[in-house]
Amino acid sequence: MTVGDLGEFGVIQRISGRLPRTAAVLLGPGDDAAILKAPDGRVVVSTDLLIEGRHFRRDWSSGYDIGRKAAAQNLSDIVAMGADPTALVVGLGLPADIGADWLDALTDGFRDECDLVGATVAGGDIARSETVVLGVTALGDLGGRSPVTRSGARPGDVVAVAGRLGCAAAGLALLGAGVTGGSPDLVTLLEAHRRPRPPYPCGPRAALLGATAMLDVSDGLLQDLGHVADASGVAVELDAAALPVPEALSAAARELGADPLEWVLTGGDDHALAATFPPEVRLPPEWTRIGAVTEGGGVRVDGQTWVKGGWDHFRA
């Protein structure tokens, strides 16, 4: 059976029947709009667009993988503000000949990723499309906390990261080179590309610790920390020796003749969190100190400007 056989209403019913409700959702899919609780009085909102052939390939990732990835990259934006995710709203474009089983797997991916943070899909829309397109909006609640923005870093702050860096980029490079399996290290990187693992609890906890600036690393560590430097009017100095380079990255670099540090510094899609903290804050073990905030501007590694940047849709 395909989604074309189900029809638009049937697709919507099939999706909504596989999604749970949460305490934050007062009224879920089925009406013209959903109704959510906003106990803090403020709503944190972020949105992302995923396009087949640009952000994912169906021959490399299953429907379940794509659902997990689409949910993760939006939920990560919410925790990067120091907030707790509550719900997603999904706009979905599908070819008529795509299988109903693939749609079920996509829905299950959204559900399982949302379960990690206690959120759900509250609604959305669906239309016929030549390729798979997902427009995802995430909503969150600050729980009385102040938001952690990109503009609060101060000279003297420490720079730290939580989560994986460079693994998704290495996995993409492996797939691009035709590597679809191999050692456990390589398989770990392939899965990192298909399903990010954002360190969700670290965002709200960083806000409570007094983080002065924070964002999720979606376009590469250097590029994203450059946004912090620009917004805060400071410089970021990174220590290459402090950057985490797991053995899996080194294994992939040997396989492809690449530099693992380049993946760590410029690779996106892992959705790690990068933040700045006052120097007196004792960082939990989930956070790794990788540098410091100084006077000036831009981002440097061991005092040198790194020539290569991260991901930009419109860069030649």
Which domains occur in the chain, in start order?
Answer: 3-141 (3.30.1330.10), 158-301 (3.90.650.10)
Task: Give yes or no for residue 211 having a pLDDT over 50.
Answer: yes
Give which of 166, 266, 183 is closest to 219, Cα–Cα: 266
Task: Give yes or no for residue 101 having a pLDDT over 70.
Answer: yes
Task: Give yes or no for residue 308 having a pLDDT over 80.
Answer: no
Structure letter (DSSP) for residue 8: H
- Global pTM exceeds 0.95: no
Q: Is the dihedral of CA 251, 255, 259, 265 positive or negative?
A: negative
pLDDT at 307: 65
User: Is 47 one of the annotated binding-site residues?
Assistant: yes
Residue 150 — left, alpha, or beta (φ > 0 → left; ψ -120 to 50 → alpha)? Answer: alpha
User: Is 125 one of the annotated binding-site residues?
Assistant: yes
The gap from C-alpha 182 to its chain's centroid, in whole angstroms, comes to: 26
User: Is 219 one of the annotated binding-site residues?
Assistant: yes
User: Is 303 one of the annotated binding-site residues?
Assistant: no
User: Is 76 one of the annotated binding-site residues?
Assistant: no
User: Is 218 one of the annotated binding-site residues?
Assistant: yes
Residues 6+ apart with CB under 8 A from 245: 166, 260, 261, 264
Query: What is the phi/psi pair of residue 314, to 5°?
Result: -110, 10
User: Is 297 one of the annotated binding-site residues?
Assistant: no
Give which of 277, 161, 173 is closest to 217, Cα–Cα: 161
User: Is 5 one of the annotated binding-site residues?
Assistant: no
- The pLDDT tens digits of the residues spanning 125-167 come to 999 999 999 999 999 999 999 999 999 999 999 999 999 999 9
Lowest mean pLDDT segment, chosen from 226-230, 250-254, 307-311: 307-311
pLDDT at 31: 81
User: Is 269 one of the annotated binding-site residues?
Assistant: yes
pLDDT mean across residues, the chain: 92
pLDDT at 32: 83
Q: What would you report as the CA-atom Rg of the chain, rounded to the nearest whole angstrom?
A: 20
Residues 6+ apart with CB under 8 A from 218: 73, 76, 77, 224, 268, 269, 271, 311
- The pLDDT tens digits of the residues spanning 14-72 come to 777 777 778 788 888 878 888 988 889 999 999 999 999 989 999 999 999 999 999 99
User: Is 77 one of the annotated binding-site residues?
Assistant: yes
